[in-house]
Amino acid sequence: MNNRTFAMIKPDAVRNGHMGKILDRIIEADFKILGAKLIRMTKAQAEGFYAIHRERPFFQELTTFMSSGKTMVLALEKDDAVSAWRDTIGATNPSEAADGTIRKDFATSLGENAVHGADSDENSVIEIGFFFTNNELISNQ
């Protein structure tokens, strides 16, 4: 069990003014923020990050959206971080997301669903490494 996960506050949520409220949810759910930065992904970066979905019909829509504005990328720490964060964000489709989840409260559609969460320990390591170097992760406080 890994105690780290990778999260993003996606461009729709930043554009809609929800970044602060989502950071509050992260802190209230007792995640420690090891690293955070505001970036604007290039299309090529978005295509690299989501390469696993390249054969899906929504790949162009997804990577255009993810490079359309600011994204906050985050490395989070908590016991059983991957599943704890997936529970906090809710189902991919906001119409199926449970009450009290971030996607239920802030997502606008299946594609523009406010936040990202790594889906496994293995992918959380790969995804954190995609945006952070080790010395950008601060775990001693």
Report, as residue numbers or ranges, the catalytic residues. Answer: 116
* Contact call for residue 110 and ligand IDP (CB under 6 A): yes
Q: How many Cβ atoms are within 10 Å of 139's Cβ, its own excluded?
A: 11
* Contact call for residue 13 and ligand IDP (CB under 6 A): no
- Kindly determine how many residues on this chain lie close enough to bind ligand IDP according to the rule CB under 6 A: 9
Closest distance between Mg ion and the C-beta of residue 140, in Å? 30
User: Of these, 21, 119, 121, 125, which contacts Mg ion (CB under 5 A)?
Assistant: 119
The 3-state secondary structure of 35-79 reads EEEEEECCHHHHHHHCHHHCCCCCHHHHHHHHCCCEEEEEEEECC
58, two tokens:
């929504």
Instruction: Annotate each residue in 53-92 with x if it binds ligand IDP (CB under 6 A) or - if it does not, as one string.
Output: -----x--xx-----------------------------x
Residue 119 or 121 with smaller CB distance to Mg ion: 119
Alpha carbon distance 130, 74 (integer Å): 11
* Contact call for residue 77 and Mg ion (CB under 5 A): no
User: Of these, 4, 18, 78, 116, which contacts ligand IDP (CB under 6 A)?
Assistant: 116
* Contact call for residue 121 and Mg ion (CB under 5 A): no
Alpha carbon distance 37, 51 (integer Å): 22
Give the CA radius of gyration of the chain: 14
